[in-house]
Every structure is written in structure tokens, then in C-alpha cells.
Amino acid sequence: MNRAVSSTQNRESTKSGSVTEELIEAIVTGEMAAGEKISEPDLSRRYQVSRGPLREAIMRVEGLGLIERVPHVGARVISLSSAKLLELYQIREALEGMAAKLAARYITEEEILAMDALLNTHSTHIEDVDGASYFHQYGDFDFHYRVILASRNQKLVSLLCDELYHQLRMYRYQVPRLASRPELALQEHRFIFHAIRQRDEALAEQTMRSHIASSRALIEQHLIKE
């Protein structure tokens, strides 16, 4: 392959990856509103990128479930309905329970130390911001994310850390504060961590499922009030 062509393709791929991340964050944080129509010309100007890398980025974000295509309308940002949200939590309860069980089996001592330090950081963080942004953690800073990675099950990682993960972050950013419970969530995270550290697979699965079920119940109560 011609070096110039290869270099161009690499630059295009890099641009596409960068735009993908920017689109994800714009949708998750609500900068791009739920239901907003995707305009390629507008996004091309906004991100200073050509149509090729932009379309590739849009396809990637669509693959994560953050963009949907509607007949006679085109591509638009998804809207998280109450039904979709509850489905999301039902799936999480089963899959993350399994991830916690496997994490108790496969987690390394290094990961245990890192997870312990993470929860200590979270405790300080909640005190500093009065719990306001505890649920906005991302990537390695997110407790659930680390538990899932520690499961050593790549299918679980793919299912939970791509589409479901970003949709959950979208909800967390956009839900009213009254539907959160940061202090209790941190306490439950510590219970889950204790079970994983003790390598108690059954307890790890049970505590994780209970934790997510409690969050789901809180959301259901909020939706009923709304």
C-alpha cells in the first residue's frame, strides 16, 4: 500500500475516533438533546471534520445505541423512556450480578488494592461535592466498570461497557438529583467489594444484584411520582 494513502487513512481513522468520543459525551451530557436530529453538515462544521470520518463516527455511536434511525425522519439522538430505563436496569441486575461473581473468582491482588483506593477516593469525593456528581464517574474511575473488567469475561465487558454503559451514563447525567442516593450507593459498593475481596462468589453476586435492584426500585418510585 502506498505510504501516503496509508498515512491518510490513519489520520482519517484518528479523526473518526476523536469525533466518536466527542459525540458520545455530547449525547450523554445532554449537550445534544434527546430526540435531536443528526445533521451531518452541522456536525461536520462543529467538529471540523470531513464527511467520511464523521459518518464512521456516527455509525459507531449508533452501534452503542445512542443514535437511532427513524423511518421518514433519519438519524436522531435516542430518548430514554421509562420503559427502556427499567429494561436497562433489569438487564444490568442479571449481568452485573454475574460479573461480580466472576470478579470474586478472578480478581487479582493488585486490582483489589486499586478498588479499595478507588472507594476511599469516592468517599472523599462525596464529602467534597456533597454527593452531587458521584454518579458521573467514567472509565476506570467507575466502580462498576472495574468490577466488570475483573470478571475476565470479554462478552460481559462488551455488553456492559459499551451500549449499556453509555446509556446508563446518559440517564445519570439527565435524571433529577432527587432520584440519586450517593451515600447509600457508596456503602453498598463497599459491601460488594468486601464480598469480592473475600472471594465469596455467591455473596458478591447477591450484593450486586440487590444494589442494582434497589436503584431500579428508586427509579420506579420516581417515575410513578412523575
Residues 77-100: tens digit of each pLDDT: 998 787 888 889 999 999 999 999
Residue 5's pLDDT band (boundaries 50, 70, 90)? very low
**DSSP assignment letter at 180:** -
Rounded to an integer, the average pLDDT of 182-197 is: 93
pTM: 0.80
Longest dimension (CA), the chain: 62
Give the pLDDT score at 134: 54
User: Has residue 56 got a pLDDT over 60?
Assistant: yes
Q: Long-range contacts of range 61-65, CB-CB < 8 Å, 24 or more positions apart?
A: 61/20, 61/23, 61/24, 61/27, 63/162, 63/163, 64/24, 64/162, 64/163, 64/166, 64/167, 65/163, 65/166, 65/167
Class of domain 82-225: mainly alpha
Whole-angstrom Cα Rg for the chain:
19
Q: What residue spans in the chain does CATH classification 1.10.10.10 cover?
A: 3-77
User: Has residue 8 got a pLDDT over 80?
Assistant: no
Per DSSP, the three-state class of 69 is strand
Residue 67 main-chain phi, psi, to 5 deg? -125, 140
Query: CA angle, 18 as apex, 12 and 22 as ends, to 5°?
Result: 140
The rounded percent of the chain whose pLDDT value lies above 70 is 84
Distance, in Å, from the CA atom of 94 to the CA atom of 107, rounded to the nearest integer, reads 19
User: Has residue 191 got a pLDDT over 60?
Assistant: yes
Question: Which triple of cell numbers denotes residue 193?
Answer: 467489594
Give the pLDDT score at 33: 93
Question: Which triple of cell numbers denotes residue 169?
Answer: 451514563
Distance, in Å, from the CA atom of 7 to the CA atom of 4, rounded to the nearest integer, reads 5
In the block, cell 445533521 appears at 39
Q: In whole numbers, what is the pLDDT of the chain averaged over residues?
A: 85
pLDDT tens digit sequence for 102-123: 999 999 999 999 999 999 988 8
Q: What residue spans in the chain does CATH classification 1.20.120.530 cover?
A: 82-225
CATH topology of domain 3-77: Arc Repressor Mutant, subunit A (1.10.10)
